[in-house]
Amino acid sequence: MNDRTMENIKKEKKHSLPKGWEIKKLGDVLTIERGGSPRPIKKYLTDSSEGINWIKISDATASNKYIYETKEKITREGLHKTRMVHEGDFLLSNSMSFGRPYIMRTSGCIHDGWLVLKQEGEKVFEIEYLYYLLSSPYLFEQFDSLAAGSTVRNLNIRLVSSVEVPVPPLPEQQRIVSILDKCFSAIERSRNNAEQNLKNAKELFESYLQGVFDPSTRSGQGKGEGWEEKKLGEVYDVRDGTHDSPKYHNQGYPLVTSKNLKNHKLTFDNIKFISETDYLNINKRSKVDVGDVLFAMIGTIGNPVVIEDEPNYAIKNVALFKVGNNQNSYFLKYFLDSKQTIEKMMRDAKGTTQKFVGLGYLRSFPILVPPLKEQQTIVRQLDTLRIETQKLESIYQKKILLLEELKKSILQKAFSGELN
Report the largest interatomic distance among the alpha carbons of the chain, rounded to a whole angstrom: 82
- Residue 7: the pLDDT is 52
**Starting at the edge strand that comes first in sequence, how are the strands of the sheet with 302-306 ordered?**
237-240, 318-322, 293-296, 302-306
Same domain, 232 and 213: no
- Residue 97: the pLDDT is 62
CA dihedral (296, 300, 306, 309) positive or negative: negative
Among 369, 395, 411, the domain-final residue is 369
Domain count, the chain: 3
Is residue 1, in this structure, part of any structural domain at all? no
Q: What interhelical angle do 170-213 and 329-337 show, nearest 10? A: 130
Same domain, 159 and 115: yes
Q: pLDDT of 75-87, one tens digit each?
A: 999 988 999 999 9
Is residue 189, in this structure, part of any structural domain at all? yes
Is residue 142, in this structure, part of any structural domain at all? yes
Is residue 258, in this structure, part of any structural domain at all? yes
Query: 254 - beta bridge partners?
Result: 273
Tell me, what DSSP letter sits at residue 160?
Answer: H
- Candidates 374, 395, 282, 272; CA nearest to 328 is 374
User: What element of type H or E holds 262?
Assistant: strand 261-262
Q: Is cis: bond before 171, omega within 30 of 0?
A: no
- Candidates 233, 251, 212; CA nearest to 358 is 233
Same domain, 190 and 247: no
Same domain, 96 and 242: no
Is residue 383, in this structure, part of any structural domain at all? yes
Tell me, what DSSP letter sits at residue 371?
Answer: -
**Domain range for 340:** 228-369
Same domain, 161 and 173: no
Domain of 139, CATH number, reads 3.90.220.20
Same domain, 147 and 243: no
Distance CA 273, CA 41 (A): 45
Same domain, 209 and 181: yes
Same domain, 360 and 380: no
Is residue 222, in this structure, part of any structural domain at all? no
Same domain, 357 and 342: yes
Same domain, 354 and 236: yes
6: left (phi over 0), alpha (psi -120 to 50) or beta: alpha
Is residue 410, in this structure, part of any structural domain at all? yes
| H helical segments located in 48-136 | 127-135
Same domain, 144 and 12: yes
Strand, helix or coil at 242? strand
Q: pLDDT of 253-286, one tens digit each?
A: 999 999 999 988 999 988 999 999 999 999 999 9
pTM above 0.85, yes or no: no
- Residue 11: the pLDDT is 52
Tell me, what DSSP letter sits at residue 356?
Answer: B
Query: 401 - beta bridge partners?
Result: none
- Candidates 113, 116, 66; CA nearest to 94 is 113
Mean pLDDT by 10 residues, the chain (420 residues): 47 69 94 92 92 90 82 92 93 76 94 91 92 88 74 78 93 95 94 92 86 64 75 97 93 95 91 96 95 94 95 95 96 94 94 92 95 95 92 92 92 87
First to last CA, the chain: 20
Q: How many CB atoms lie within 10 A of CB 341?
A: 22
Same domain, 361 and 418: no
Is residue 162, in this structure, part of any structural domain at all? yes
